[in-house]
Structure 1
């Protein structure tokens, strides 16, 4: 079974990133990859070949901030990806999988700023579809519950989380369960200074939920 991979790689040119990505692709039969925080100014085919091996097509969103460049890749012999819209916070498009139909996929690298978060939801909403499977996945930079954080300031259900929750509810989107640690980000500090948060999520529409029941 083919799978979709979204990863905040924090630097696509690192040798460890390339080795790890190729291992994930092989072990999980990945046909679509969304990479966040690539830190690449210009992305060429040689960069893609270095990262994931040969046989991949790609598209990306240039950005003045290197950490905000989003890169998506797909296996050219198994699928084709048609980008519908992009911004500094997302790439959204249709993934046509050979002999398996169409998926709409949004790869997200959300802003911590509430007003920019609103731009993300407003940008995605016109492209929400329930006619075929839809996946919205990535680093949303937003906490939704007190269980999503350990250390630092106490969680507050402020405007940012409320607007994300409203976006999910109004568009009938559901967060998938996960395997592994709940908290996906760390400030890499120790002791009482250590902060861990759940910033990465996968949301799907009811089409996907019903198919997996």
Structure 2
């Protein structure tokens, strides 16, 4: 699985204005990155090492503008072919499959640069390699229905985008989870919602990954919704083994559960008695953890679902404040999970 940045880690560890993109193969993270980081390499390296990503490539920002970062694990064979201030073009090899091309994009926000940007992307595939995927912030609204509020639809910028996709026979992969990927975070008449982030693929690429699906997730710190690309569809993973979680020691309930379980076993002497106490405590902790996990996961998903629902609409002032509180609550929840991920690292 390829990823251009995992959401929970990004929102938990990334305090920069980053566009989050993720690509998954069999639900295992292989690659991670960020668009328009606005941060220098030394800052990003601290985050990369926390995420245990072994390989990396950076395009440094100019002043405080722009900047690209691409991270991946050594299980993925990724070669950087070329780059510019608005893209990183790579070749990908996964599990012995035929190589394909993956380009991470950050479209220029200035109208006078847009035509040159799309023309430069087209030149990347002049050698006729067909299996191509582009993912990132296009910075263009391609259709009138992809915009709500603000200035009127810019047909000229959209034309350059459509000329690019038509000339190279590229299609957009639908995004599950909402229509708009960017919001100015304002309410009522001041609210602007747009679809700027996209996954664009060739027909040959689509044939190679027929189950590929793009998913929008809830945004916490960025004004862009994170994009996840699951190359082989979405599958559930089930955790079978019980293990003591380090984060439990921060909860008073855990200490009380251990004490009660230990005392309920009665006065058991010797090694066998000690073993019975341990077994009962383990059983009680397993039951307690399942209850906590189910409740906690449900709470997290409820918060994310509310954020996903609200971030795609024009909001009143009170609704905007509610959205801010939801994001803060979710951010705090993710912070409590940091110890969980640290233990696994």
Mapped partners of 2:130, 2:151: distance in 1? 40
Unaligned runs of 5+ in 2: 212-345
Contact 1:138–1:201 under 8 Å retained in 2: yes
TM-score computed with the length of structure 1 as normaliser: 0.82
Q: Which has the larger radius of gyration?
A: 2
Partner of 1:17: 14
Equivalenced residues, count: 202
Please report the RMSD computed on the Cα atoms of aligned residues, expressed in angstroms.
2.9
Greater strand fraction, Structure 1 or Structure 2:
1
Partner of 2:135: 137
Residue 32, structure 1, aligned to residue 31, structure 2: yes
Structure 1 position 154, deviation (Å): 2.4
Structure 1 position 45, deviation (Å): 4.1
Mapped partners of 1:173, 1:26: distance in 2? 22
1:171-186 equivalences under 5 Å are: 171-186=168-183
Contact 2:32–2:72 under 8 Å retained in 1: yes
Residue 207, structure 1, aligned to residue 204, structure 2: yes
Partner of 1:147: 145
Mapped partners of 1:142, 1:189: distance in 2? 20
Mapped partners of 2:108, 2:176: distance in 1? 25
Greater helix fraction, Structure 1 or Structure 2:
2
Structure 1 position 73, deviation (Å): 1.2
Partner of 2:186: 189
Structure 1 position 16, deviation (Å): 4.7
Mapped partners of 1:97, 1:160: distance in 2? 35
Contact 1:130–1:207 under 8 Å retained in 2: no
1:38-117 equivalences under 5 Å are: 38-43=37-42, 45-50=45-50, 53-76=51-74, 78-117=75-114
CA change 1:65–1:181 in 2 (3 A) is farther
Contact 1:7–1:36 under 8 Å retained in 2: no
Mapped partners of 1:60, 1:74: distance in 2? 12
Contact 2:136–2:197 under 8 Å retained in 1: yes
DSSP-derived class of the 1:66 partner: coil
Mapped partners of 1:89, 1:138: distance in 2? 10
Mapped partners of 2:102, 2:23: distance in 1? 19
Residue 160, structure 1, aligned to residue 157, structure 2: yes
Mapped partners of 2:198, 2:173: distance in 1? 8
Structure 1 position 28, deviation (Å): 3.4
Mapped partners of 2:183, 2:141: distance in 1? 13
The Cα offsets for residues 144-168 of structure 1, whole Å up to 9 and x where unpaired, read as 11111111122131x2110110001
TM-score computed with the length of structure 2 as normaliser: 0.53
CA change 1:71–1:130 in 2 (3 A) is same
Unaligned runs of 5+ in 1: none
Mapped partners of 1:59, 1:65: distance in 2? 19
The Cα offsets for residues 102-143 of structure 1, whole Å up to 9 and x where unpaired, read as 221111111122332222222222222654521111001100
CA change 1:55–1:198 in 2 (3 A) is closer
